[in-house]
Amino acid sequence: MFITFEGIDGVGKSTQLDMLEKHLISSGREVVRTLEPGGTELGQEIRHLLLHRKGDVAPRSEALLYAADRAHHVETKIKPALASGKVVLSDRYFDSSVAYQGAARELDVQEVKDISLWAIDRLLPDLTVLLDLPAQEAMNRRGNKGTEPDRLEREQVEFFERARDEYLRMANEPRFLVVDANLSPEEIHSQVLQRVAKLS
């Protein structure tokens, strides 16, 4: 079982991942919790280049660096975990690239999707939970965390609005569950569990 969490920065993915991970472990499942970018050692270096290195990154280069992180992540961590019967929970996956590099960065959505599908060797998740919130609200929530924004988080509200709109467009695919991120964490968790129950 392969489950990914998506949404723009500030919608509360980590809280939901924590809750689902605990639930699955307590029901006896072996869980591999991971993230993009940075789910592997190589990925951590790529993450640093993408988010914390000084200076600009050309948009196509940005798209390829996320794809490079992902290709290594799928091959060395996600596939082996699934092959040994574990549940994989990933904080972001290729839909992030379609929303952020394709729509928000205004590269071509289909081209970015094609690169990403090649990178993941067409390994699609069984379920993708999209936590949805208007960009301004998500940004306000992030502001309250008090942490220093990374390179992507320094983008304007319009950038995140384009990402959000693209996520909602993609969510027509049956593998998506869209949840209103304004609901309480417990309520969101219960909607996620109802859907997960149908998978296993």
Contact (CB, 8 A) for 36 and 69? yes
CB of 97 to ligand TYD, least distance (A): 4
- Which is nearer to ligand TYD, 7 or 177 (by Cβ)? 7
- Which is nearer to ligand TYD, 51 or 109 (by Cβ)? 51
User: In angstroms, rounded to a whole number, what is the distance separating the alpha carbons of residues 187 and 168?
Assistant: 20
* Strand stretches in 114-170, DSSP E: 127-132
* Nearest residue to ligand TYD, scored by beta-carbon proximity: 100
CB of 59 to ligand TYD, least distance (A): 10
Give whole-number Cα distances, 13 to 48, 67, 108, in Å.
Answer: 20, 21, 26
Contact positions toward ligand TYD, by CB under 6 A?
9, 35-37, 51, 66, 91-92, 96-97, 100-101, 150, 152-153
In this structure, what token pair is assigned to residue 18?
């924590």
User: In angstroms, rounded to a whole number, what is the distance separating the alpha carbons of residues 192 and 51?
Assistant: 29
CB of 101 to ligand TYD, least distance (A): 6
CB of 98 to ligand TYD, least distance (A): 8
User: In angstroms, rounded to a whole number, what is the distance separating the alpha carbons of residues 164 and 175?
Assistant: 17
- Which is nearer to ligand TYD, 36 or 132 (by Cβ)? 36
